[in-house]
Amino acid sequence: MFNTDTPRRSLLKAAAALPLSGIALRGALAQGKAPTKVLDFLTLADVAKAESEAQLVFYCHENEAGTAAIMEGFEKDFPKIKTSYVRAQTGALYNKILSERAAGRFDVDVIQLSDIAPALDFQKKGGYETYVSPESDAYKPEYLSNPVGAYFWTGVTFCGIGYNTARVKAEEVPKTWKDLLDPRWRNTMSCKISSSGLQFVAWYTLRKLYGDEFWREFAKQRPHAFDSRVQLFDRLAKGDDKICSTADYGGYTLFRSRGAAIELVMPEDGLPATPMVVGAVSKAPHPEAAKLFVDWAMSSRGQAFYQANPNLIYGSLRSDAPPMATGARLREFKLLFPTDIPDYIASQPTFTKEWNGMLGL
């Protein structure tokens, strides 16, 4: 008798035995294999091959401690894969990888950016490896690339107004974004540099709310700009700055846990928010390790790590995500995302020019 059990039928049988449907099932069929379970999540990566590759190179926008934490979390689960990383703000990091690829260098496996604009541009340039994770069904389509398989939103960071409680009197505490324009904050307020994805989205969303005049008045405050959340909150905690105009929730949570005399104001108009975008890079030197990392980061296991690690505290977009380490869930905050993505992307040169001009760069 002839064997009518075709490879595709075998795959369907194997996939049916696992909790796959929709996007994940189509991805498994397209890649011609059924996923396997490793630890407590599913992967289409060849785990044995990933471990024989023995390395993972990660490019990340996060501060030094946060980037190191992500790699330590992954390496703890897969100790045979040694990790290394490069960290820089999103703008600088994206320019770096583009320059490397233009020169024929392909040294990175996975990249994490804090801005959807460069992620879309990188996808357009064919920079991502198409890989549809078995964990994809846990995310709404808007949190995945279109088409699926280039990148996903591994979490969200958002900011309010931070202030030093020892240097700001109760009656002086800003309650709205427009309160940042009070002359009392001149030369005593911090922000982030123009290569920060969060700073770009704050500029864009607040400009939509209040018009160009808001940022022209803000420039008169002569704010101090810094690269990372560590610098911003360290200065705020010490009282070197009274106010931080881009105080992200994770940084606030970390420094408050260390006893810093700081508080976070969440204006009623909303909080500028940007996704953390993760994807495996095309022509990666360690492609199976890259796939395995994407699955780990998308899984409940990886998302719990991103939400709970004190150097991260990113709100998860998984449909089954537990609360963050603070006990709060992402849906409890009024977040301001850009809604007109083409306009948002087109405005970046204007932002960079104006922001650098404000800082005298």
Per-residue model confidence (pLDDT) at position 17: 52
Per-residue model confidence (pLDDT) at position 7: 53
Per-residue model confidence (pLDDT) at position 3: 41
The structural domains of the chain, ordered by start, are 11-156+274-328 (3.40.190.10), 157-273+333-358 (3.40.190.10)
Per-residue model confidence (pLDDT) at position 31: 75
Per-residue model confidence (pLDDT) at position 333: 97
Bridge partner residues of 272 (DSSP): 336
In the chain, the percentage of residues whose pLDDT exceeds 90 is: 90
CA 27: distance to chain centroid? 24
Per-residue model confidence (pLDDT) at position 342: 96
Contact (CB, 8 A) for 132 and 293: no
Look over the chain and give the mean of its residue pLDDT values, rounded to a whole number: 93
Q: pLDDT of 332-353, one tens digit each?
A: 999 999 999 999 999 999 999 9
Give the integer Cα–Cα distance in Å for 119 and 152. Answer: 10
The count of C-alpha atoms lying within 13 angstroms of the C-alpha of 274, restricted to the half-sphere facing its C-beta, is: 30
Per-residue model confidence (pLDDT) at position 4: 40
CA 149: distance to chain centroid? 17
Average pLDDT estimate for 14-22: 58
What phi, psi does 289 have (nearest 5°)? -65, -35
Burial class (CB in 10 A: 0-12, 13-18, 19+), 32: exposed
Confidence of residue 311 (pLDDT cuts 50, 70, 90): very high
Candidates 139, 135, 140, 93; CA nearest to 112 is 93
Per-residue model confidence (pLDDT) at position 33: 82
Is residue 260 pLDDT above 80, yes or no? yes
29 or 38, higher pLDDT? 38
Average pLDDT estimate for 256-263: 97
Is residue 1 pLDDT above 50, yes or no? no
Is residue 70 pLDDT above 80, yes or no? yes
Per-residue model confidence (pLDDT) at position 5: 46
Confidence of residue 2 (pLDDT cuts 50, 70, 90): very low
Burial class (CB in 10 A: 0-12, 13-18, 19+), 33: middle
